[in-house]
Amino acid sequence: MGRVIFSRIAGAIPVIILVTLITFGLMRLIPGDVTAALGGVNSTPAEREAIRQNLGLDQPIHVQFVKWYAGLLRGDLGRSHLLGKDVTQTMFERLPVTLSLSAYSLVLTILLGLLTGMLAALRQNSWVDQAAMMFAMIGVSMPNFWLGLMMIVLFSVHLGWLPSGGYVPFMQDPWGWFRATTMPAISLALLQVGLLARITRSTMLEVLRQDFVRTARAKGLPNYLVVGKHALANALIPIVTVVGIIVSLLMSGAVVTETVFSIPGVGQLLTSAILNRDYPMIQGGLLIVTLLLVGINIAVDVAYAWLDPRVRYERG
């Protein structure tokens, strides 16, 4: 297992270096800079030049490049041009917001997705299957910003059950956090529920037709053991792969959801940074997000090895 982890980490290092290079280069290729945001709509070229001098953007690109990498080697990701704050500190202020929202959403996704997919597979071609797949299709098709706004109208404006937006940290007020994140988590989860339900259904159908399932039934094992222990365990590997992808999708989907529900997460932070050409924030922020996603992928790989001994033996 240790070797699996080590080889994955070693393989990830070039990916991370490549991401930093691409991010730095691509952002400099896009026209415009942060002066349009800081100077406002009506700033004059002279005023924008003053901002550039303040922020060191008047220096040649190779100087900026060397400075940023030198900072990176010291563990310093720089200071956001837009916020004037340390990039690492800002990211670590925002990550708990997005991670907690994504985690809540992931729990909903796994619960609803697995349940719907399994029900559909176990009752193939019945009305249950049809209804489950229709639910999955609606989830996949519905834009989450629209769903978010509709939920605000229903649950906030008309029923008054949940707040229309904002965020309360879990550690400060767990009930407030639950109320504030329920609608965003549902709107974020529904798309992924559809995806997971469809994968679960097809994988389960395939596994349920396998000889070992027939053997288990022939041995007289109760249905819940056949499905829960034998079939589901074997269906889990493709499902875990999809869950890994879903975690990445939740992070990117959070951009829209955070905007609709006014949640100060990483999604809003990085969108704003990109739209306003806040180079240090984009470079540092994407590096941290990349590290996170690489970590999730390594965890998925480790989960393979844990779920399927053949993976361990092949690599051992």
Q: Residue 284 Cβ, how far from other proteins at the closest point, in Å? A: 15
Residues 6+ apart with CB under 8 A from 186: 105, 108, 147, 151
Helices 266-275 and 279-307, packing angle to 10 deg? 140
Residue 25 interacts with other proteins (CB under 8 A): yes or no: no
Residue 240 interacts with other proteins (CB under 8 A): yes or no: no
Q: Residue 91 Cβ, how far from other proteins at the closest point, in Å? A: 12
Q: Give the footprint of other proteins on residues 257-286 (CB under 8 A).
A: 259-265, 268-269, 272, 275-277
- 74: amino acid identity, one letter: R
Residue 37 interacts with other proteins (CB under 8 A): yes or no: yes
Distance CA 193, CA 141 (A): 11
CA proximity to 136, closest of 83, 195, 200, 176: 195
Residue selected from 156, 182, 202, 210 as contacting other proteins according to rule CB under 8 A: 156
Taking residue 11's Cβ as centre, other Cβ atoms within 10 Å add up to: 13
Residue 186 interacts with other proteins (CB under 8 A): yes or no: no
Residue 88 interacts with other proteins (CB under 8 A): yes or no: no
Residue 125 interacts with other proteins (CB under 8 A): yes or no: no
- Pair 40, 31: CB distance under 8 Å: no
Q: Residue 257 Cβ, how far from other proteins at the closest point, in Å? A: 11
Residues 6+ apart with CB under 8 A from 118: 200, 201, 204, 227, 232
Residues 6+ apart with CB under 8 A from 82: 34, 37, 38, 272, 273, 276, 278, 281
- Identify which of residues 117 and 163 has a Cβ nearer to other proteins in the complex: 163
Residue 160 interacts with other proteins (CB under 8 A): yes or no: yes
Stretch near other proteins under the rule CB under 8 A, chosen from 136-144, 146-154, 216-224, 293-301: 146-154
Residue 51 interacts with other proteins (CB under 8 A): yes or no: yes
Q: Residue 192 Cβ, how far from other proteins at the closest point, in Å? A: 22
- Pair 237, 304: CB distance under 8 Å: yes
Q: Residue 25 Cβ, how far from other proteins at the closest point, in Å? A: 17
Residue selected from 6, 21, 70, 84 as contacting other proteins according to rule CB under 8 A: 84
Residues 6+ apart with CB under 8 A from 262: 165, 166, 167
Report how far apart the first and last C-alpha atoms of the chain are (Å, whole number): 8
Residue selected from 166, 228, 295, 316 as contacting other proteins according to rule CB under 8 A: 166
Binding site for other proteins (CB under 8 A): 30-48, 50-51, 54-55, 79, 81-85, 90, 93-94, 149, 152-153, 156-157, 160, 163-167, 259-265, 268-269, 272, 275-277
